[in-house]
A and B are shown apart, each in its own frame.
Chain A
Amino acid sequence: MSRAVPGIDDEEIDALARLARLALDPLETATLAGELTEIVGYLAAIARVDVTGVAPWSPPSVVGGASSLRDDAVIGETIPRDEILAGAAATADGLVIVPRFVES
């Protein structure tokens, strides 16, 4: 497999940022376009390897057959709701408060 490595331009960085829920300023967008072009150019070296018939990697614990799934049940203690919510930026009456996201 061989393919030309495309440069990554500002527009593509913007598209990736939208997918990743990041809001980049124009300066960072331009910087990242240059850096990712260089990095992806380096990563493209893997494309020249013939992987016909090669399966994706599995860890030794899976290959050895030792891994097994436990019962699908609650394990350990249950954490009280208030302790969970203590980490959230805005809560009320046992709920997480967020800005309105459904049109009224």
Chain B
Amino acid sequence: MDVGARAIVEQFERGELTATAIVRDTLDAIARTAELAAWVHVAEANALRRAAAIDALRARGGSPGPLAAVPIGLKDNFITRGIPTTAGSRILGALTESPWVPPFEGEHDRRTRDAGAVLVGKLSLDELAMGSSNENVPGRPVRNPWSLDHSPGGSSGGAAAAVAAGVVPLAVASDTGGSIRQPAAMCGVVGLKPTYGRVPRAGMIAFASSLDQAGPIARSVRDAALLLSTLAGPSDGDATCVAAAMPNLLAAADRPIQGLRIGVPRRAIDGPGLHPEVAAAFDAALAVLRAHGAITIDIELPHAELGVATYYVIASAEAASNLARYDGIRYGPRAVADDLETTIERSRTEGFGAEVRRRILLGTFVLRNAGYDAYFGQASRVRSLVAADHHAAFASCDVLATPTAPTPAMPLGRHRGDPLAAYLGDVFTVGASLAGLPAISVPCGFTTAAPRLPFGLQLIAPPWREDVLVAIAAHYEAATPWHEQRPPHGETSRAVGPSP
């Protein structure tokens, strides 16, 4: 149903809708939008059982929480106890008779459930979250609800497509180099990557541990803020996740933005890869923010052009290291061979897809003796310079603004056989990832020619200042019509009938 999370909570609390009715409609919506291939597992029995429990709690006068009765999807790299979790990889049994079923609970699943949300299923992603188009999958690629011939972006393509199509109001996604923000931009929804250390990584299948961060995808800034408030906070399972003070994000959405300074790294943005309509939409967005009292100033990010190279060295190195755990022995499918070494080699080779194998080899290359100092060691230090650029910029501004991606969504198959071209699409998102900074993408316009494809405006804030992102993004959202647009391949304003 095409209703926001806060509206669902209100309707449930007023008794106008039961959790069961909401969940049944959501399950129907998943079936109606099956052509998007956004879901890799629908947790129907779990969802209906959970909804019944929420309805029973309410009938007893209890309050299920701030996300009461809200149907939610988790990207399939989040651990869900008793519910298949494959991260889109055959190494964890994707598309097999026996996908991996985690025997333990994930932090994000627990936190959203404790807040009253109902997990309805797991969302497609590029295998192990490596990719920017949701085409690195063992099964069907996800399709963009704005145009079925186009990618939804990635790696959280299923999450962005399902939210954009109005199937669920909220999804929990992960962002390593832009995997929340870029698909959100390409599907016309809101994506918020928190500060590194704001949300635990425990319960999220590791890709690149110094970059991975979980966060919300939603159709409005306030819904994204609501979900982030639920996910944030320290965990015994992640020493890098800390008890940093979290301002009230929903209150921040009502804060004035008069006088806030928005830094624009003009030199880093302008380039031959920038789509002219993305450039125009970005400039128009800055004009809207100025009209609402914000001040735009030009700033420099001197090492921005090295962001993609730095990111791919570090992310690939950490991936090669993290993915060493997959051997087909203790979990996941196992290839049959006579000796242990060959068993492990074949299990890994058959289990990982082409892009993952490529990144494992790249990571092995930059980590081994001969390349360590020149690549991994060097990249770790250039990363500090990238972070220092951002901190220097924040001396003269409150947030930075860029387009989220240099282009709108690509036609499916566009980057086949050209991995480097795909990597270059991450140019605007990797900076905040490398520096560990919070960043949000909010819809900021559409292509004029058919098919109509959305763009995103990215805002980046200093560490722990998600509240400033929410304040500016909420003002921008209220001043523009983009978030009200609905894609042709989705749940267009279907009303839910009265509860039985």
Contacts and interface: CB of A to CB of B under 8 A. Distances in A.
Contact of A46 (B240, B329, B360, B382): B382
Interface residues of A, number: 57
Given A32-B361, A43-B375, A51-B385, A98 B343 contact: yes
B239 A70 contact: yes
Contact of A88 (B329, B384, B385): B329
B3 interface: no
Which of A20, A40, A64, A86 has most B Cβ within 10 Å? A20
Interface string B222-257: 000000000000001101111110000000000000
A89 B242 contact: no
Contacts of B360: 20, 22
A13 to B, nearest CB: 7
Given A24-B357, A70-B239, A86-B103, A36 B362 contact: yes
Nearest to A89: B334
B303 A56 contact: no
Nearest to B330: A88
B340 interface: yes
Contact of A87 (B100, B343, B382, B384): B100
Interface in A23-73: 23-24, 28, 32, 35-36, 38-40, 42-47, 49, 51, 54-57, 59-62, 64, 66-70
A88 B347 CA distance: 13
B358 A32 contact: yes
Contact of B361 (A36, A46, A87): A36
Nearest to B311: A43
Interface in B459-475: 463-464
Contact of B384 (A3, A46, A47, A57): A57
A56 B197 CA distance: 18
A79 B343 CA distance: 27
A55 B364 CA distance: 22
Nearest to A3: B374
B145 interface: no
Nearest to A19: B364
A83 B365 contact: no
Nearest to A62: B240
Contact of B210 (A16, A28, A59): A59
B97 interface: no
Contacts of A96: 329-330
A13 B361 contact: yes
Interface residues of B, number: 77
Contacts of A76: 236
Contacts of A75: 236-237
Given A23-B346, A46-B306, A96-B330, A56 B381 contact: yes
B349 A22 contact: yes
B387 A17 contact: no
Contacts of A70: 236, 239
A60 B464 contact: yes
B337 interface: yes
Interface string B365-400: 110100000110111111111010000000000000
A101 B338 CA distance: 10
A5 to B, nearest CB: 10
Nearest to B338: A99
Nearest to B377: A56
Contact of B378 (A8, A51, A68, A100): A51
A21 B362 contact: no
A42 B366 CA distance: 13
B339 A99 contact: yes
Given A47-B378, A56-B384, A66 B330 contact: no
Nearest to A49: B382
Interface of A: 1, 3, 8, 13, 16-17, 19-24, 28, 32, 35-36, 38-40, 42-47, 49, 51, 54-57, 59-62, 64, 66-70, 75-76, 79-80, 83-84, 86-90, 96, 98-101
Given A56-B380, A100-B339, 9 more contacts: A20-B364, A23-B346, A35-B419, A42-B420, A47-B378, A59-B436, A64-B463, A79-B104, A101-B341
16 contacts: A1-B374, A23-B345, A36-B358, A42-B420, A43-B313, A56-B377, A56-B383, A57-B210, A60-B196, A70-B236, A70-B239, A75-B237, A79-B104, A89-B329, A89-B332, A96-B330
Query: Ordered nearest first, which 7 A-B pairs have the shortest CB separation?
Result: A61-B197, A87-B331, A89-B334, A56-B380, A60-B463, A51-B381, A101-B340
